[in-house]
Amino acid sequence: MTAPLKVDIWSDIACPWCYIGKRRFEDGVERYRANGGDAAVEVEYHSFELAPDTPVDFDGSEVDFLAEHKGMPAAAVKGMLQQVTDIAASVGLHYDFDALRHTKTYRAHQVLHLAKAHGRQAELKERFLKAYFEEGRHLGRDSELIALAAEVGLDPELVRAALAEDAHRDDVAADIAQARAYGISGVPFFVIDEKFGVSGAQEPQVFAAALEQAAAARGDAS
Amino acid sequence: MTAERDETAPSPFTLLGDPDAVACDGDSCEIPAATVRAPGDETGEPVTST
């Protein structure tokens, strides 16, 4: 039995390419299998805050936020968001930037660490991304984080207590420090077996090939 | 590992795939220049968003 290929993924929630990249990576894993790859693929998500200075509450739309934040005309922002929406649709995602609630993701990352400790990280990562990009949920609010975590099987009181105590503050900081140590400045970023790096929302065949190369490298080393 | 890394140092990984693949960096997410232009802009300069 081949040992699992370990894939460490640095990503943020407020990151449109991270969700698109997640889908493409998952497609890549399927292609790796279809091509005869027999190693299990073990995924661990790591925290990355793209914009730590983002306010928890912003009174306006995503277009308003970006137009104000970047000094761009609203029409240009709308055009860009439509392009991202179209690319997301190509991988089966239904982004709704009109409903999106732009917010700080620091506390959501803490809950993802709690979920990891309880074996529910993959489910919660998917739930958070869907809630943020498709459902317009406010992921800066504890009540929303608790409700979404409960949907994937986490005890609401456990989540509430962890947030109240900032129990996973150090875990988030450690992930961000690790990213810095690795030289990661953009996300999503995929590290396979601590040897191979894949940056960005690459096409599925890139991920499939990377997994094949990582598996072959193990053979070379044995 | 928590040490600061010299960003001019080589990556600790063998990087695979397209080095220019779309990603988010800082508070900007690059949109492919070939597909996105501001209204009336025909230059194709890259733009950033979200």
B32: Cβ–Cβ under 8 A, 6 or more apart, which residues?
A83, B22, B46
Q: Does B21 touch chain A (CB under 8 A)?
A: yes
Contacts of residue B29 in chain A, CB cutoff 8 Å? 15-17, 84
Any B CB within 8 A of A55 CB: no
Q: What is the mean pLDDT of residues A62-69?
A: 86
pLDDT, one tens digit per residue, over A111-137 is 999 999 999 999 999 999 999 999 999
Q: Which residue's structure tokens are 């998500």?
A: A45
Residue range A95-116, pLDDT digits in tens: 999 999 999 999 999 999 999 9
pLDDT score, position B46: 42
Average pLDDT (A7-26) is 97
The minimum CA-CA distance between A67 and chain B, rounded to whole Å, is: 9
Q: What pLDDT, in 10s, does the model give residues A122-179?
A: 999 999 999 999 999 999 999 999 999 999 999 999 999 999 999 999 999 999 999 9
Give the whole-angstrom CA distance, residue B22 versus residue A132: 20
The answer, yes or no, to whether residue B44 has pLDDT greater than 80, is: no
- Which strands, in side-by-side order, build the sheet including A5-11? A41-47, A5-11, A189-192, A196-199, B14-16
Best of A17, A100, A187 to mutate (most B CBs within 10 Å, chain B): A17
Is the confidence at residue A71, as pLDDT, over 90?
no
- The complex scores an ipTM of 0.82
CB contact under 8 A, A200 and B22: yes
| Chain A, window 114-153: residues with a beta carbon less than 8 angstroms from a chain B beta carbon | none
* Confidence category of residue B49, pLDDT binned at 50, 70, 90: very low
Residues A201, B22: C-beta atoms closer than 8 Å? yes
A75–B contact, CB cutoff 8 A:
yes
| Tokens matching residue A132 | 């943020």
d(CA A72, CA B49): 10
**Third-level CATH fold of A5-221:** Glutaredoxin (3.40.30)
pLDDT at B14: 92
List of residues 6+ apart from A156 with CB closer than 8 A: A146, A147, A149, A150
* Chain A residues near residue B20 by CB distance under 8 angstroms: 200
Q: Is A205 on the interface with B (CB under 8 A)?
A: no
Nearest CA in chain A to B47: A80
Question: Does the beta carbon of B42 lie under 8 angstroms from any beta carbon of chain A?
Answer: no
Q: For chain A, what are the domain ranges?
A: 5-221
Contacts of B33 in chain A (CB under 8 A): none
- Please determine, for residue A217, whether its predicted confidence score (pLDDT) is greater than 90: yes
- Cα four-point dihedral sign A157, A163, A169, A171: positive
Q: Which of A21, A83, A200 is opposite residue B31, by nearest beta carbon?
A: A83
CB-based contact B31 A84, cutoff 8 Å: yes
A201 at B interface, C-beta within 8 A? yes
pLDDT for B8 equals: 57
Within an 8 Å CB–CB cutoff, is residue B3 touching chain A?
A: yes
Q: For residue A64, which residues of chain B lie inside 8 Å, CB to CB?
A: none
Q: Sorting pLDDT into bands at 50, 70 and 90, what band is B7?
A: low
Rounded Cα distance between A159 and A40, Å, is 30
